[in-house]
Structure 1
Amino acid sequence: MGAVLLAGGISVLATLGAQAASGTSALPPPDPTAKNLTPYMIQLRAFDACLVTQSRLMGTTREAVHTPCSCYAKGTVAAMTKDEIQAFRDTGYFNDSAREKGLGFIDRCKLKRPI
C-alpha cells in the first residue's frame, strides 16, 4: 500500500510540474487507484510526493523537508473543493484549479516549484 501511495504521490507532483509548464494537452492516463481515496489519503499522496520531489530539488534529505511538505499537503487538500477532490479521484492528479492552490502552498510553505 505504501508503494502505491508513493507512486501515486510522485505522479501528483510530477504531473503538477509538467502540466503547469505545458497546460492540459499532455495529461497522463487516469489512475484507477485514486477512485476511492479519502481527502486524507490524497493528502498522504501529496505529502509522499513532496518528500521525494523536494528532497531531490533541494539536494537534502526527506527529513529536512518533512515540515514544509506537511504544510504543503495539508494546506492544498484542505483548500480543495468537493469538485476538485472528485476530479482527483477521477484522474489521480490535481485539476487546474487544485494545481494553482498547490503552487500557492508550495510558495507559502517555502518549497521549490518543480517547474
Structure 2
Amino acid sequence: MMMRRMGAVVLAGGLSVLLGTVVLAASSSAPLPPPDPTAKNLTPYMIQLRAFDACLHTQSQLLQTTREAVHTPCSCYAKGTVNAMSKDEIQAFRDTGYFNDTAREKGLEFLDKCKLKRPL
C-alpha cells in the first residue's frame, strides 16, 4: 500500500513537471523539448486535462498564489484552447506533446481572455 502511494506521488510530480512544458511551449519560441510519446493516443479531453494541470502549475508560480486561486481561470484557458483547436492541431499535439504554432496562438488568446499571465 505504501509503495503504491509513493508511486502515485512520484508519478504525479513527474507529470506536473512534464505538463509545465505544455504551457511554456505554448508561449515561447525557444527550442522545444523532444516529442512526448505518451501524447500519442490522447483524446481532446485528455489534452484539456494536461493543459489544465500545466496551467495550474505554471500560473500558481507566475502569480505567486495557490493552485486553488487559479482553478477557474485555468479551466477557462484549457477548455477554451482545446475546444478552439482544429483536428490538425489536435493531431500535432498527439505527435509532439505540445501546441503547434497555430494552437499556441489560440492558447495565448485564451490566457488573455481568462485573465491569466502570459509566461515570458
Same fold (TM over 0.5): yes
Is 2:74 aligned against 1:64? no
Matches within 5 A, 1:1-115: 3=12, 5-19=15-29, 22=30, 26-115=31-120
Larger radius of gyration: 2
Q: 1:5 Cα shift?
A: 4.5
TM-score, length-scaled by structure 1? 0.89
**Shift in alpha-carbon separation, 1:33–1:8, aligned structure 2, 3 A:** same
Q: Which amino acid aligns with 1:6?
A: S
Q: Which amino acid aligns with 1:80?
A: M
Whole-Å separation in 2 of the counterparts to 1:5 and 1:34: 12
Partner secondary structure for residue 67 of structure 1: helix
Whole-Å separation in 2 of the counterparts to 1:48 and 1:113: 16
Whole-Å separation in 1 of the counterparts to 2:83 and 2:52: 13
Backbone CA RMSD of aligned residues = 1.5
Indicate conservation of the 8 Å contact 1:13/1:46, yes or no: yes
Q: Which amino acid aligns with 1:59?
A: Q
Instruction: Return 2-11 or 54-63, whichever deviates more.
Output: 2-11
Whole-Å separation in 2 of the counterparts to 1:18 and 1:83: 20
Whole-Å separation in 2 of the counterparts to 1:5 and 1:36: 16
Match of 2:5 in 1: none
Whole-Å separation in 2 of the counterparts to 1:111 and 1:94: 18
Q: Tell me the number of residue pairs that the alignment of Structure 1 and Structure 2 aligns.
A: 110
Unmatched tracts of structure 1, length 5 or more: none
Whole-Å separation in 2 of the counterparts to 1:46 and 1:30: 16
Q: 1:10 Cα shift?
A: 1.3
